[in-house]
A and B are shown apart, each in its own frame.
Chain A
C-alpha cells in the first residue's frame, strides 16, 4: 500500500477540524489562540502535500507552494507576538482570560 495525496489531505482536514472545534468549544483565550495555530498548520500541510504531488517540469517539487508556507509561518509568528501582547494587555485591565468575562462590546 502506497501513500496517496488523499491521505495527507485527510489528515490535514482532520487537524483543521480539531482546531476549529477548539476555537468553538474552549473559553480560555490562550487555548483558542493555540487552536488557531493548529488550523494554520493544517493549511500548511496540505500546501506542502500539493507541492510534492504536482512536480514541476524539472521533476522537482513545486517550490512556490513551499515559499507560501514559509510566508505563512513568518506571518503566524508575527501574529502570535501581537496577539499575545493584546492578551497580556487585556489581562492587565480585566484580570481574566475567559472570553465570557470579556463582554463589554456585546450588544
Chain B
C-alpha cells in the first residue's frame, strides 16, 4: 500500500473515531463509526488481508452498525442535553489515554522489528500468481482451527437464544 493512501485512510479513521467520542447526537456518532470501520477495512485491504477487509465491511459496517442504528431509533434517543462534565472522569480518562499513547511511543521507538519495512510476499507457488486470500484463510479455519470454529457456532446460537429471552416482556 502506498504510504499516501495509508496515511489518508488512517487519518480518516482516526478523525471519524474522534468524532464518535465527541459527537453529542448518537445517530451522528453511529455514522462516524461506520466511516471509521470503512477506513479500517481499507487498511486491512492494504495489508493484503482482503477477506478480513470484506468481512469488516459486511459484518461491522453493515450488520452491527444497522443494529446500533435500529436500537437508537427504537429508543428514540435525542441529542444529549448538556450535563456538568464529571471533572474526575475527564481527568482520569484523558490522563490514562495520554499515558497509554506516551508508553506506546516509547515502546515502539525501541522495538527493532518495527523499523523494518514489510517483506514482499512470495506468490510464485500460488495459482495464477495471485494471493487467493479466501482459500488460504478457509484452509487455516477448517483444518487447524476447526474446533474453535464449531465452538463459535455454538456461541452464536447461545447468543441468539439469549437475545430472544432478554427481549421478552417479562423474565420468568
* Interface residues, chain A, with chain B CB atoms under 8 Å away: 1-11, 13-28, 30-31, 33-35, 37-38, 41, 44-45, 48-49, 51-53, 55, 58-61, 63-64, 66-67, 69-71, 73-82, 84-89, 91, 97-98, 100
Instruction: Report the Cα distance A76→B161, complex, angstroms.
Output: 16
| Cβ-defined contact, A61 with B49, below 8 A | yes
Query: Are A67 and B145 closer than 8 Å at their CB atoms?
Result: yes
State whether A25 and B90 are in contact (beta carbons under 8 Å apart), knowing that A37-B33, A41-B60, A60-B121 are contacts in the complex: yes
Does the CB pair B64–A76 fall under 8 Å? yes
Distance of A1 Cα from B3 Cα, bound (Å): 7
Q: Using Cβ atoms and an 8 Å threshold, which residues of chain B touch A69?
A: 49, 52
Contact assessment for A38 and B10 in the assembled complex, using a CB-CB cutoff below 8 Å: no
Q: Give which listed residue, B29, B37, B100, contacts A16 with CB less than 8 A.
A: B100
**Are A24 and B140 touching (Cβ within 8 A)?**
no
Q: Flag if A3 contacts B67 (CB, 8 Å).
A: no
Bound form: Cα–Cα A79–B162 in Å:
11
Contacting pair B163 A85 (CB below 8 A): yes
Question: Are B21 and A2 in contact (CB-based, < 8 A)?
Answer: no
Instruction: Enumerate chain B interface residues (CB-CB to A < 8 A).
Output: 1, 3, 6, 10, 13-14, 17-18, 20-21, 26, 29-30, 33, 36-37, 40, 43-44, 47-49, 51-52, 55-56, 59-60, 63-64, 67-68, 71-72, 74-75, 77, 80, 83, 86, 89-90, 92-94, 96-98, 100-101, 104-105, 108, 111, 113-119, 121-126, 131, 136-137, 139-141, 144-145, 148-149, 152, 155-156, 159-160, 162-163, 166-167
Looking at the assembled complex, report how far the CB atom of B97 sits from the nearest CB atom of chain A, in whole angstroms. Answer: 4
Give me 11 A-to-B residue pairs in the complex whose CB atoms sit less than 8 angstroms apart, sorted by A's number.
A5-B113, A13-B101, A17-B97, A30-B29, A52-B49, A63-B137, A70-B52, A70-B55, A85-B162, A87-B71, A89-B167
Cβ of B13 and Cβ of A2 under 8 Å apart? no
- Write out the residue numbers on chain B whose beta carbons fall within 8 Å of the beta carbon of A98: 80
The answer to whether B6 and A81 touch across the interface, beta carbons within 8 angstroms, is no
Which of A3, A23, A71, A80 contacts B68, CB < 8 Å?
A80
Contacts of A30 in B (CB 8 A): 26, 29, 68, 71-72, 77
Q: In the complex, what distance in Å separates the CA atom of A88 from the CA atom of B75?
A: 8
Across the interface, name the chain B residue whose C-beta is closest to A91: B75
- Are B21's CB and A35's CB within 8 A? yes
**Closest A-chain residue to B140, C-beta based?**
A63
Contact of A14 among B14, B29, B40, B163 (CB under 8 A): B14
B82: shortest Cβ distance to chain A, in Å? 11
In the complex, what residues of A have CB within 8 A of residue B125's CB? 58-59
Bound-state Cα–Cα, A63 to B113, Å:
20
